[in-house]
Structure 1
Amino acid sequence: MKAFIVLVALAFAALTLGRTMSRCTLAREMFKLGVPRNQLDKWTCIAERESNYRTGVVGPKNTNGSHDYGIFQINDLYWCEPSHGQSYGRSSNGCEIDCDDLLSDSIVNDVRCAQLIQRMQGWCAWTTWHYCNGDLPSIDDCF
């Protein structure tokens, strides 16, 4: 019985940790969500640099006290509402989403929010952009 309880607890813990995607899995899922194919090399580069393709990542505290969430490390000062909500009291929540929704296995919320950020601020919204601005490996082998 104890072993069963431990297995159930581990299963629930695994659900909350998100998943680690591959470059090609990310590219294919983003393409299915309508992301233009000619942007996928940039998005996969950003995801690799920001989270190593992990969906459940919350970054360490930034110098301004904010945190970054999910596969694209989306900031809670501007783009999502942190779970500590009202007491935190300073998120602009531009994507109108709870930050915890960026940590699930599904990348739908992450992609929609990241696309909004990219449209509003460009690729340089990600500090890792300098690694992803130039010749990148083709994603053609993913399809």
Structure 2
Amino acid sequence: MKTFFILSALLAVASPYIYEKCELARVLRKNGLDGYRGYSLANWVCLVQYESSYNTRVVGRNRRGGRTLSSDYGLFQISSIGWCDDGRTQYSKNPKNGCGSKCDDYINDNIADDIQCAKRVVTPQGMNAWYGWKKKCKSRNLGNFLRDCNL
């Protein structure tokens, strides 16, 4: 019986939180992303949809030749190249830890720090920093993207 409870507790801790689109839109708006650097709330939600599928704990690996070159973390897929330190990326020792955080800070359910880092990323690079946004959201009519959210 004890083993079951310990295993249940470990699974609960490791489970990702996956936002619903409208729920995330409310959180992002509350944290100042609607209109931030000229990008609508729909752009931010679209970005998250195509980068992480609203999953707070997703880690994407960027590989070449069977070797991981870098990794992307959390809802916004914050890159270990230039934005956070994962201790593994060849550039992680580089002082360009733009958000001043460990990458693991972005794979939990507290997304306040994720939002702050995303604001730093978008400041010099715009949303072009995110491949998912460039491919799926950029130059698209997102006018109806949040229509069902009643914001």
RMSD over aligned CA atoms reads: 2.4
The answer to whether the 8 A contact 1:77-1:91 is kept is: no
Report whether the alignment pairs 1:112 with 2:129: no
Aligned to 2:34: 36
Say which of 123, 127, 135 aligns to 2:141.
135
Task: Please state how far the C-alpha of 1:7 moved relative to its aligned partner.
Answer: 3.0
Say which of 100, 110, 117 aligns to 2:104.
100
Aligned to 1:24: 22
> Structure 1 residues 83 and 15 mapped into 2: Cα distance closer, same or farther (>3 Å)?
farther
Number of corresponding residues: 141
SS in 2 for 1:47: helix
> Structure 1 residues 50 and 91 mapped into 2: Cα distance closer, same or farther (>3 Å)?
farther
Task: Please state how far the C-alpha of 1:80 moved relative to its aligned partner.
Answer: 0.6
Rounded Cα–Cα distance in structure 2 between residues aligned with 1:73 and 1:26: 15
Rounded Cα–Cα distance in structure 2 between residues aligned with 1:84 and 1:44: 29
What TM-score results when the alignment is normalised by the length of structure 2?
A: 0.81
1:139 partner letter? L
1:86-111 Cα distance to aligned partner (Å, 9 max, x none):
9x534621001111110011111111
1:109-130 Cα distance to aligned partner (Å, 9 max, x none):
1111111111110010001123
What TM-score results when the alignment is normalised by the length of structure 1?
A: 0.85
Q: Name the one with the larger strand percent.
A: 2
1:28-67 matches, within 5 Å, as: 28-36=26-34, 39-63=40-64, 65-67=69-71
Rounded Cα–Cα distance in structure 2 between residues aligned with 1:7 and 1:90: 42
Rounded Cα–Cα distance in structure 2 between residues aligned with 1:85 and 1:125: 18
Task: Please state how far the C-alpha of 1:35 moved relative to its aligned partner.
Answer: 1.8
The answer to whether the 8 A contact 1:66-1:75 is kept is: yes
Identity %: 34
Gaps of 5+ in 1: none
